[in-house]
Amino acid sequence: MKVTSIVVSVFLSITLFSSFSNAETVSLPSKKADIQQTSVSGLSSGAMMAQQLHVAYSDIMVGVGVVAGAPYYCAEGSSFKSIQRCMSGGFWWWGWWYKDLPDSEYLYGKAKEFEASGEIDKLSNIANDKIYVFTGDADNVVKTPVMDAVDEWYKIAGVPQESIKYERDRIYAGHAFMTEDGDGSCSNSYGAYVNDCDYDGAKAVLEHIYGPLNAAEAEPEAVGVIVKFDQEEFMTGDAASISMDDTGYAYIPDVCSTESCKIHVVLHGCSQGESNLILGFNPGDSVYRKAGYNKWAASNKMIMLYPQAISSFSNTMGCWDWWDYNGTGNYYAKEAPQMKAIYNMINKLAQ
C-alpha cells in the first residue's frame, strides 16, 4: 500500500509538472514597472549572481538578499577558489586544514578597479541600499565564516549597519530557501532546497528591502499569473551556449497591468533550475511556485522574475556563472552574457 501511494504521488507530480512545462512559451510582457525599484535575491550560486547583479547594475538596484553566498568577485575566475575559499573557507592538504577565507577589503578593491574601467556602475550607489544576509547553522555547503565576509564587504562599501540585516546563528537551517511550509526538513542541504523552517525567508528579504509589507495573498495565482517566457529573446546567441535555459518564469500580479510595480529577481541555486531537477521527487517549479515570494507580490505591487540556468559541459550542476565557467573573462561585469540577459529581462518589464 505504501509503495503504491509513492508510485501514485510520483506519477501525479510528473503529470502536473509536465503539464505546466508544456505550457505555451510567450514573450515576456512590457509592464511599465519601476526599474529604479529593482532588487534581487538568491540562494547559493543564485546568491553569488544576485550580488554580481546588485553591484554591476547598482544604478537600478535598491537592495539584495544573499542566502548562503560569498562576497562579490570572491572566486576571481577560479573554480578552485570558488569551492575552497568561497564555500568552505579553506582546504585540506596532507591531513592539515588551511584556512583561506575571502579578503573583503581586497575584493572591494577589485570592484573599485572594475568601476574605474566602466565595467560596473558606481559603487557609491550601494551605500543607500538595503542588504539582507542569511547563514544557517546547519549549512554544510557555504560555511558561516564565508558569509561573515559578505557582511564585511558591504560595510566596506559604505552601507550603514542599520541597513544590513545579518541573520546569523538564528535558525538551525541547511542550505536552502527557508519557508514556513517547504518540502524539506529545515536542516537539509539537499533535495529541492526549499525547506520548512517555520520562517518566511521571502518575507524577511522583501520586508528588509522595501519596508513593512501588506498582508500576503493566500492564493497568488488567483490575483496574478505565472508566465513562461522566452529567455533567448534577451541573449546574444543561443541560450545553451551560456548555460541558460531557453525559457524562464515570472509571476505578474494583475494589478501590475494598471499600476506601476517594483521588480524583484529571484535566482535559484545549483541543481535547482526547472530543467536540472529530478521529476517527481524535486519538482522543477520548486522556486518559482514554492519559495514563498509570489504570495507577497500582488498585495505589494511587485513582479517576481525567475530566470533559469541549465547544466552544460563546463557547468554540470546547473549553477549561475560566478567563477567564469563560460570563459568570457568578464563574468562579474555588466556585459557578461548571463548578467546582460537578466538585465534585459528587467528592462523589458520596465518598458
175 a catalytic residue: yes
Comparing CA positions, the residue from 140, 258, 266 lying closest to residue 202 is: 266
Task: Copy the grid coordinates of residue 342.
Answer: 537578466
Residues 92, 74: Cα–Cα separation, whole Å: 19
139 a catalytic residue: yes
Q: Which of 39, 104, 175, 271 is catalytic?
A: 175
324 a catalytic residue: no
Pairing of β 194-196 and β 177-179? parallel
Q: Which of 39, 41, 44, 82 is catalytic?
A: 44
- E strands within the chain? 38-43, 61-67, 90-93, 96-99, 130-134, 164-167, 177-179, 184-185, 194-196, 224-230, 247-253, 262-267, 302-306
Distance from the Cα of residue 25 to its chain's centroid: 22
Residues 239, 324: Cα–Cα separation, whole Å: 16
Pairing of β 184-185 and β 194-196? parallel
Q: Which of 129, 139, 200, 245 is catalytic?
A: 139
Cite the active site residues.
44, 139, 175
